[in-house]
């Protein structure tokens, strides 16, 4: 759902930054790298210490690079296969850092830390299933099949966990983050199962078509 608003953010709200970076001669790939490093630093430095609100604000300052770099590439006419690969690869690092930082928060036993084995496990499940969600689509497309769909796209996962973590810290309501983690665990699991079954149907149809074609070509 949130992917629909990318054009508004990149083309309107963040457009001044796009033009500034282009004038400064900064490449889209460099913006992607800096943005990922900022997200990872914010998640892995602040979250484990229990500084959830500061971490969310720090991450938010860098997370929009994911929209800026794509817009820059289009305006510069530099869209490339490596750029797409680079962006997707660093997205996985950023996502892993966010959920990894939250896992370290729940693993901590200090006064300002989560100290919860249950939510440590739920967070790690979200991390793993989020990665599998992206991998399932990429692997299916490499085999010539489609695995789009589900209810937990990357933008939805990222925005929901950051917003609810920030609000939970701001209003001292950790249940907001906890409920969101459960929701993401379910949504990610559903999405993976949905994509596996979708690819299975396509694979069976392709296999049946190949078998029928082979049977037709067999001399009688």
Please give the positions annotated as active site.
Answer: 91
Closest CA to 128 of 84, 95, 165: 95
CB 69 within 8 A of CB 32: yes
> How many C-beta atoms surround the C-beta of residue 130 within 10 A?
26
What are the start-end ranges of the E strands in 54-96? none
Closest CA to 69 of 48, 94, 49: 94
CB 187 within 8 A of CB 152: yes
CA 213, CA 199: separation in Å to the nearest integer?
A: 21
């Amino acid at each position: 759902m949130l992917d629909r608003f990318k054009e508004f953010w990149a083309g309107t709200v963040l457009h001044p930054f796009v033009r500034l970076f282009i004038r400064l001669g900064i490449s889209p790939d460099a913006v992607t790298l800096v943005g990922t490093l900022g997200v990872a630093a914010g998640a892995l430095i602040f979250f484990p210490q229990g500084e959830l609100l500061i971490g969310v604000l720090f991450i938010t300052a860098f997370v929009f690079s994911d929209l800026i770099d794509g817009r820059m590439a289009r305006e510069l006419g530099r869209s490339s296969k490596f750029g797409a690969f680079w962006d997707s690869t660093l997205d996985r690092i950023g996502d892993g850092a966010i959920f990894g930082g939250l896992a370290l928060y729940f693993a901590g036993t200090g006064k300002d830390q989560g100290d919860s084995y249950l939510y440590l496990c739920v967070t790690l499940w979200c991390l793993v299933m989020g990665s599998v969600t992206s991998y399932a689509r990429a692997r299916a497309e490499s085999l010539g099949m489609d695995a789009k769909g589900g209810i937990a796209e990357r933008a939805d996962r990222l925005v929901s966990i950051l917003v609810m973590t920030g609000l939970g810290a701001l209003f001292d309501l950790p249940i907001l983050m906890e409920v969101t983690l459960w929701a993401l665990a379910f949504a990610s699991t559903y999405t993976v199962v949905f994509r596996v079954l979708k690819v299975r149907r396509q694979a069976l149809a392709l296999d049946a078509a190949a078998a029928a074609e082979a049977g037709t070509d067999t001399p009688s």
